[in-house]
């Protein structure tokens, strides 16, 4: 049996019919560790994928974090570390260091201790909307490109996981 998600914007009364698990991903009840996998599975089902695209198109473009909230938890810190060190497009380590005693001038802030400067949402925002909050001493505009343009959501999730270990 095929189940459809309901993403109508101006619904007067909430539906009393339970939504399928894939439709609850953005809700507080969703398992955040599996959210990205659920969305990836939904994209493979034509009818669910169509509803998902409609929902994603309805997201407020003034809130750039919304499409990436599925990348908050569930990442792999080892893959994130490898991405940080050697991803050919992102090239994180060209501008950032994670070394405690590194005083050399870098294009971006030293990320040693970044996990203590903010939570996962702060780290995610730093990756996908780098101009939202710029580290002190690094000007008014970030030279860092939004990682959502360069990385897949599962790669962003892995980077967030890795960054949480930098304390």
**How many DSSP H helices and E strands does the chain contain?**
7, 0
* pTM strictly above 0.85: no
- The pLDDT score that the predictor gives to residue 101 is 81
Angle 46-58/35-43 helices, nearest 10 degrees?
120
CB-neighbour burial class of residue 75 (10 A; exposed 0-12, middle 13-18, buried 19+): buried
Model confidence at 65: pLDDT above 50? yes
Q: Taking the CB of residue 1, how many other CB atoms lie within 10 A of it?
A: 2
Q: Per the CATH hierarchy, to which homologous superfamily does domain 72-163 belong?
A: Cytochrome c-like domain (1.10.760.10)
- The pLDDT score that the predictor gives to residue 40 is 87
pLDDT mean over 117-135: 95
- The pLDDT score that the predictor gives to residue 18 is 56
- pLDDT-derived band at 7, boundaries 50, 70, 90: very low
For CATH 1.10.760.10, the residue range(s) in the chain are 72-163
Q: Taking the CB of residue 84, how many other CB atoms lie within 10 A of it?
A: 20
């Amino acid at each position: 049996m095929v189940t459809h998600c309901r993403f109508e914007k101006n619904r007067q009364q909430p539906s009393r019919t339970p939504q399928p698990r894939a439709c609850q991903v953005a809700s507080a009840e969703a398992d955040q560790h599996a959210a990205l996998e659920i969305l990836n599975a939904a994209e493979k089902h034509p009818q669910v994928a169509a509803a998902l695209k409609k929902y994603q198109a309805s997201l407020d473009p003034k809130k750039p974090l919304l499409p990436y909230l599925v990348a908050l938890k569930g990442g792999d810190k080892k893959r994130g570390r490898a991405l940080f060190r050697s991803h050919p497009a992102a090239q994180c380590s060209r501008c950032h260091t994670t070394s405690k005693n590194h005083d050399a001038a870098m294009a971006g802030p030293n990320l040693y201790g970044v996990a203590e400067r903010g939570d996962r949402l702060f780290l995610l925002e730093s990756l996908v909307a780098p101009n939202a909050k710029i580290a002190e001493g690094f000007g008014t505009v970030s030279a860092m490109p939004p990682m959502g343009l360069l990385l897949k959501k599962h790669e962003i999730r892995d980077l967030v996981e890795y960054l949480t270990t930098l304390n």
